Amino acid sequence: MPVSRVSGVVRGGSSDMDCIICGSPLPDGPAQIHSIPYACKRWGFVRVSADASMVLPQLRTEAESAKVDAVSHFVRQLSDEAPGRAVYINFHDALRWFRDTELELEFPAAQARNLIVWLGTRRLKDQNPAAYHTASVGELASVIGARNDHGAVAYVVNHLVAEKLLELLPQNLRTANEV
């Protein structure tokens, strides 16, 4: 019997509705006003200072994609530890996190554990633990500590499916962009 079910979907978005930090589409509208908390699917519930919002796009552009994904995972963990309380991101934290050489992505075993824990703590509207959970590849990558890449997330998901810990949405109900 599967622990839970998962389906990853990649979505597009317009630039005025994108996260200041990562450029991901925002479900709750634009985040153009600094220091107001907002929910990003990748980074979690965050509040970005004005000075950090100016430096984050440059840090993201200059960093290797694996570093951006590692920082995303780190901030997402902080956000998930205190639901409802925004992670405040200031200029100094942003610089420190992007320059921290010890801030890395998780190994596959830890990624699998992170996915199972995340699914176990999610609440769906109907409270049905067997319901399918949907998330973007970027969101799953941040949650589990993997690269923001369909193949990297699918590797972990497919391993858990093979171990019969997850069940995927049936192929005929998935789009081409789903895990």
Residue 123, domain member (yes or no) = yes
**Total domains present in the chain:** 2
Token digits for 19?
Answer: 């996260």
- In a shared domain, residues 137 and 113: yes
- In a shared domain, residues 76 and 113: no
Quote the pLDDT of residue 65: 87
Write the CB contacts of 18 (distance below 8 Å, at least 6 apart in sequence).
Answer: 24, 25, 26, 31
Ranges of beta strands (E only) in 37-171 are 38-40, 44-48, 87-89, 132-135, 166-168
At residue 123, does pLDDT exceed 70?
A: no
* Digit-coded pLDDT (tens) for 15-55: 446 777 777 777 665 555 566 888 888 888 888 888 888 88
Query: What is the bridge-based pairing of β-strands 4-8 and 44-48?
Result: unpaired
Residue 84, domain member (yes or no) = yes
What whole-number distance in Å separates Cα of residue 153 and Cα of residue 29? 26
Closest to 41 (Cα-Cα) out of 134, 123, 127:
134
